[in-house]
A and B are shown apart, each in its own frame.
Chain A
Amino acid sequence: MNALLDAIGAVAVGGMILLSVMSGMYSIQVYSQNTKLQSTLTTTSEIAATALQDRYLSALGLMPTGLLSSINPDSLIVAATTKTLQFYAEIDGAVQLVSIQQGAINGAGMYPLTVQVGGNLEFGPFNTSVENIFNFFDENNSAIAFAANAIPPGQRDDIRSVRVDISFALQGLSQLTGGNRNLMNKIVFWQYFKNIYLLQA
């Protein structure tokens, strides 16, 4: 009888130890996986933000000299909403319509961010978790008010800079539920449109 009690006790104690070990292993797996994904997300955010600034937004107002007389500086920005910025700029040696756009919510609950140049998808889609990414400012650094989530056409030529708030997201693991949870990396950056300053001079 004593031997049976010893065996039951050993199984109980051993089982608890095994459960603790497995639980610890699971936690380590979740943390390490999420940390790895967060690292990827941070790197992706930096690459995307830098590309948006250096390749696209900084080109706003950049025009070949021969076209300067035929382009109205006031009509370079075609659309400026909380989710879309469309403008003409010289990209890869040609004047093209650049469209930076946050799309409608998808099945994963994300708003895909894309950049189209001349109607062709060139960058993205990147999953973003928060809607409305653009805010526009005039030459006095005052925010230009939106009307129905868009800058009215008559005020688009007042735009001199933009603030972009992007929450990049990636699906990670949830330790509590064992399912998925969104990992986020919010980044805020600003871009002054220096070419517009020069064109408006």
Chain B
Amino acid sequence: MGYQMLLILLSVILFSTVFMGAFNGIFMHSEIVYTSAYRLQAQKIADYYFQRIDADLLMAQTDGSGTTTFGTVFNTYSNLQTSLTLDAITYNVNIRAIPCNQYGGTSSPSVNYRLVNTTVNFMVNSADTLHVGTTANPLSKVYADNGMY
């Protein structure tokens, strides 16, 4: 009787570990899927700011006042730290605009070009902080002054 009970207990332990392994794998997969949705949202937020800079430049070029120039538009974005809350998730956005050359290189910059680096970080379920773009590898775009002012 004791031997049989031992066998039953061992089988229960064996099946438990199999299930725990399967659950763990599925939960990990599930987390990757859910965080990818948040990362996609973070990319859309970064895209929003890139588009907004485009719009600010178009405004400066088309309003005819001449008071806003390529350089002054980027004063706003030279070191902008802002945040956006969507569905209780706060996305922290960091934007830096740096003079650069036409290839985005910053070693010999020109006043006619700006490299805009954007990073977004956010926290899901008060657990891990997720990053879309990092200081070392940000989301980047190069803007050029096309002289339409």
B81 at the interface (CB under 8 A from A): no
Is B59 in contact with A189, judged by CB distance below 8 angstroms? no
Instruction: Give CA–CA (A13, B59) in the complex, Å.
Output: 76
Chain B residue, CB-CB nearest to A16: B12
| Given known A45-B40, A161-B55, A197-B58, contact A28–B48 (CB-CB < 8 A) | no
Q: Of A32-40, A79-87, A94-102, which binds chain B? A: A32-40
Chain A interface (Cβ within 8 Å of chain B)? 6, 13, 17, 20-21, 24, 27-28, 31-32, 34-35, 38-39, 42, 45-46, 49, 139, 141, 160-161, 185-192, 194, 197-198, 200-201
Does B30 interact with chain A (Cβ within 8 Å)? yes
User: Which B residues touch A194, using CB under 8 A?
Assistant: 54-55, 58
Cross-chain contact B55 with A160 (CB below 8 angstroms): yes
* Interface residue? B51 (CB, 8 A): yes
- Asked if B127 CB lies within 8 Å of chain A CBs, one says no
Q: Could you give 16 example pairs across A and B, Cβ below 8 Å?
A: A17-B15, A35-B29, A38-B37, A39-B33, A45-B40, A49-B44, A141-B52, A161-B51, A161-B55, A185-B37, A186-B86, A188-B86, A190-B48, A192-B55, A197-B55, A201-B64
Contact bitstring B15-35, A, C-beta under 8 A = 1, else 0: 100010011001101100110
User: How many A-B contacts at CB < 8 Å in the complex?
Assistant: 83
B12→A17 contact, CB < 8 A: yes
Q: Which residue of A lies closest to B5 (CB)?
A: A13
Are the C-beta atoms of A197 and B41 separated by less than 8 Å?
Answer: no
Cross-chain contact A35 with B33 (CB below 8 angstroms): yes
Which of A17, A28, A187, A192 is within 8 Å of B26, CB to CB? A28
Task: Note all chain B residues with C-beta closer than 8 A to A190.
Answer: 44, 47-48, 51-52
Q: Return chain A residues, CB-CB under 8 Å to B58.
A: 194, 197-198
Interface residues of B (CB under 8 A from A): 1, 8, 11-12, 15, 19, 22-23, 26-27, 29-30, 33-34, 36-37, 40-41, 44, 47-48, 51-52, 54-55, 58-59, 61-62, 64, 86-87
Give the distance in Å from the alpha carbon of A45 to the alpha carbon of B33 in the complex: 13
- Residue of B26, B36, B44, B51 near A188 (CB, 8 A) is B44
Given contacts A6-B1, A28-B22, contact A45 B54 (CB under 8 A): no
Q: Which residues of A contact B23 (CB under 8 A)?
A: 24, 27-28, 31
Q: Give bound CA distance, A49 to B43, whole Å.
A: 12
Contact B37 A45 (CB under 8 A): yes
> Please, which residues of chain B bring their CB within 8 A of the CB of A45?
37, 40
**B19 touches which of A24, A198, A201 (Cβ 8 Å):** A24
B15 to A, closest residue via Cβ: A21
Contact yes or no, B19 A139, CB < 8 A = no
Q: Which of A38, A46, A160, A187 is B33 in contact with, Cβ under 8 Å? A: A38
